[in-house]
Amino acid sequence: MKILAIETSCDETAVAILECTGDPTKGDFHMDILGNALHSQIESHKEFGGVVPMMAKREHAKNLIPLFKNALTESGILKENISTLHGDKIKELENIFGREKEFLADFAKLIQSIEKPNIEAIAVTEGPGLEPALWMGIIFARALSFVWDIPLVPVNHMEGHIMSVLPQKINFPALSLLISGGHTELVLMKDWYQYEIIGQTRDDAVGEAFDKVARMLGLPYPGGPEISRLAELQRKTQTSTPEYILPRPMIHSKDFDFSFSGLKTAVLYSLKKEETPKEVVAKEFEDAVAEVLVSKTFRAIDEYNIKTLIIGGGVVSNEYIRKQFEEKVAEYSELKLLLPTPQLRTDNALMIGLAGYLRWLKKDKKDLRNTMSDIVAVVAKGNLKLT
């Protein structure tokens, strides 16, 4: 079946169309990416040193329709066809769009110029994320669902990051380490659809810590890639370095929680005390983060007898952190490491389509009605938890 997926939880606007067959839970799953359109807003948020929610919202509203058209075109299912929306439909659409008048005008123009494509479900991120940003994807998905009578499937963004490793095979129990600019979580899965958060950050997310430390060093946003570039430089040159040591926060605590704000503060104090080359700070910071992540994750792997380790989220792009995990996994005979391909690491709509397909399989099709009350039941949930 063809599934349309929409993601707007943070600063990536993404629309994808997937063709999925089979059932991952039965080991016979297949997927083809038919269309994948993504716009990163990094350039707009850069000067503010982080994501500005209201600006993210505006950009989503502006970019969703062009991206949607690109994804349909790439999939070969965009057919032009002039039609007219009638009064009662327009009234309902006005309710769906609320104050987003310009977005509604663009939507009305779009929908009256194209034919309903052969899509069976619309997956949309309902949370967690920035609520104003989430709403734009949800409004767009609601409107398409209403006009074309296609069922909506709300998706948890974090389930999306976990499912970003499909169609690779997951053996249970599985553990997911989700590391991004917004999250640091260890999620235990004893089976399909069963999630238990066994550890999480008590303050900053890993990516956030990278971004904040980068800012202290005068490096541009997003800081992760910059820090890892400098850290690599330091590892390669091997020049004699001054003694520079950062803490490994919570590395010995009995739980599986993390804390990165202390690490960030330690960098701040050290920079105030004496001048240290940026590369030295970057390398020690990356070492500290990697050590804590590996140590905590593997304690959970041992305790729960984990068969598959999944690592998802933007920080997976960090080569050094990946290498530390790969080396440690190699010491285990029955542990498999699953990583998403680069296009599925940062926020994207493909992973929302994959998680949406799984949710679709679980749905009792008898319950699918697509009435307005079903449609408006899908709402933005900024703090949505995985359960």
Neighbouring-strand partners of residue 156: 127
348 in contact with Zn ion (CB under 5 A): no
Taking CB under 5 A as the binding criterion, the range among 102-110, 227-235, 239-247, 345-353 that sits at the site for Zn ion is: 345-353
**C-alpha triplet 172, 292, 175: angle, nearest 5°:** 10
Q: What percent helix, strand, coil does the chain show, rounded to 5? A: 45, 20, 35
Nearer to ligand KG4, 147 or 166 (CB): 166
Report residue 34 as tokens.
């038919």
Three-state SS for 328? Answer: helix
Nearer to ligand KG4, 145 or 180 (CB): 180
With CB under 5 to 8 Å by kind, the binding choice for 128 among ligand KG4, Zn ion, none is none
In whole angstroms, how close is the CB of 157 to Zn ion at the nearest point?
6
DSSP conformation class of 258: B
With CB under 5 to 8 Å by kind, the binding choice for 223 among ligand KG4, Zn ion, none is ligand KG4
**Residue pair 250/257 in contact by the 8 Å Cβ criterion:** yes
Beta strands in the chain (DSSP E): 2-7, 12-21, 30-40, 121-127, 152-156, 174-179, 184-189, 196-200, 308-312, 336-338
With CB under 5 to 8 Å by kind, the binding choice for 318 among Zn ion, ligand KG4, none is ligand KG4
Nearer to Zn ion, 180 or 201 (CB): 180
Nearer to ligand KG4, 145 or 318 (CB): 318
284 in contact with Zn ion (CB under 5 A): no
180 in contact with Zn ion (CB under 5 A): yes
Nearest to 149 by CA among 178, 103, 111: 111
Q: Which of 214, 347, 349, 354 binds Zn ion (CB under 5 A)?
A: 347
Binding site for ligand KG4 (CB under 6 A): 10, 180-182, 207-208, 210-211, 222-225, 228, 313-315, 317-318, 346-347
Query: What distances in angstroms separate CA 134 from CA 64, 102, 167, one per listed residue?
Result: 12, 17, 26
Nearer to Zn ion, 106 or 347 (CB): 347
Neighbouring-strand partners of residue 40: 12
Nearer to ligand KG4, 117 or 225 (CB): 225
Q: What is the contact surface with Zn ion in residues (CB under 5 A)?
A: 180, 347
